[in-house]
Chain A
């Protein structure tokens, strides 16, 4: 994987030769990119829908504003529906896309494993 600053990770010169990009960093960055893309999608849809359906009405046609489920049509299509859509997307993102990563630093993990091992030996 190329380094984010454009240099190939193979040509980077870390002080230790067995280093790689941290998987937590890689996964988190990918998830962040997807989130930004989702934001842009819902932002575009909502703003455009609300603008074209909800703005520019004159006083004369105020009595003919269409209601759906009691709310103005632009609110229903521009806010209510995408809100429900985002909740569904959250299900996908949280339960099918986002990775479970170990967030502890390696030394903390090693210490925790030692404690666990010691506990097992004590309990026999």
Chain B
């Protein structure tokens, strides 16, 4: 196996580029002309916006136009991204790897020339997974390679054993869509018919490939023209100087932000269920965030790579950058080339999040890379939570998993492959002072959107029985996680069965985690209700409501990776996660709970069990609620906690800070509520000294006999004295799986 695409690709510090002349002269524009600097920087950002609109309007793919699963980046001559568009951030987070790889391996042979473009979907080069095809266009100025403009979009189908590309039966990459290292798809301005045909030949939707390729080429051409105009108006050294300056500025601003946060280490473990079809195992991945001075170091590991749930290094790296951007860089240019200088990413080779060739990775975007994003989301949220003045910048876990729905069959006599992308509309995590946003989207997609039900019904042979925000899906907390959603449909307008290819995780172990005592948001998953009388009911003129529909026929839970088919009498049901909560749900304002019950966001039963709030008619029974909350708090304290570690004199000066409801004083962490000393602030883990209660996860969410070969548990960590909740884990381990250390 050639090493250039066997495992993590690490570009050399100085790229070895012999044949392609690189333009590297740059003026110090910011010092010499701070105003021109801003003008040019603004123009570069506008160019990516223009390019995005063009791509989106021309693309034929619902994944691009309805779901916005694409991105655009402009990089300097060496591939460091200066400007990206606000669509799927993960794509932009890996573009530098692909450009650098192209520079190192396509230099001279076949050569990088003006008017060329390269297409790449190789996850060991830099693609997130094989369906994300990037088209990389070098921009030349007077014979020198000045910059790159790139577009990445999710192709509906690029071949492989399963339609839609998430090959849930794969043992290795040979069962999957073929990874293609950078190939010259446009040669001096002309699309190469041979390379285009190579991709069309593999695809089950060749026309869509063709349309989307043209969208990418057109968008790149727009950006190339704009960059050339910019150089024309100023000069190459000035524009390059601004690119360099924007990268430096992004780096320096992120360093300032990181410096202003407390030092410490936070780690987080998460799980995926099922490594491929019919598998019942549970597989862990973990992430440790170490913050020292102005640096962030991420260390990612996990179980050995297995089945089809892996990601390559590019996916884990994109997943991390994905959370760094919105949580730490809201007011910093998203010039990733500069931001990456602040991050160090270590990852163990051969693990699920960092699989080596020929691991199966076609599902990386919705499996390991997604999970790494969840873990980074919480690690950064806990880092922010430990800060005095920046905790209000955190979001608890957002849309922790995605139940992918790829559908294929026959429509109007023609074969089709399509997907229902509605599960993108997960809930965002709660904030320290407000609830999470309901059906908000994926944290990686500032401008995400889902299709109308009518559009789904126009493009797929189905009839939706409902599409709703899901009651109790938001993670309980003092501030609630945003709601996730649910939808169900029956076949309509087709005589044949509809085949499904399904892949998710977070089904028994939900992964939108809460922060500082907030509970996780709900799981994701599917059910197939078979042998229902739904068609008869419709024919009788009856339109059943949600609860009635879900009670029909035989309810079959579908495993996390599954292929099924739906007949006319079957109802297909999918549900997707809410966001994690923040703070102890027993501290939630009574009016908020009441409002949630009135609007259907929270059921009366969850109000009682999770929030300790008793609703009587249209009002809260305040006395009963106080009693109920006291009982629940007390229950948490009845378990034995380990005696606290003793405090040494040296520890007494520690300034180590933890989240909400915990205070460090004289070397001891105290409960912020009752002031009880919990343990030594320098203790390896605080959790053993807290009151720990465990219960089966099935108690909270869909209980299922057909669950994984493990015992998913909800683990609560509370103050041994007053019972205020400090943290909640979803775990299969007897030991803590997260926290500061």
Do A and B pair up? The answer is no
Residues of A within 8 A of B (CB): none
Chain B residues near A (Cβ < 8 Å): none
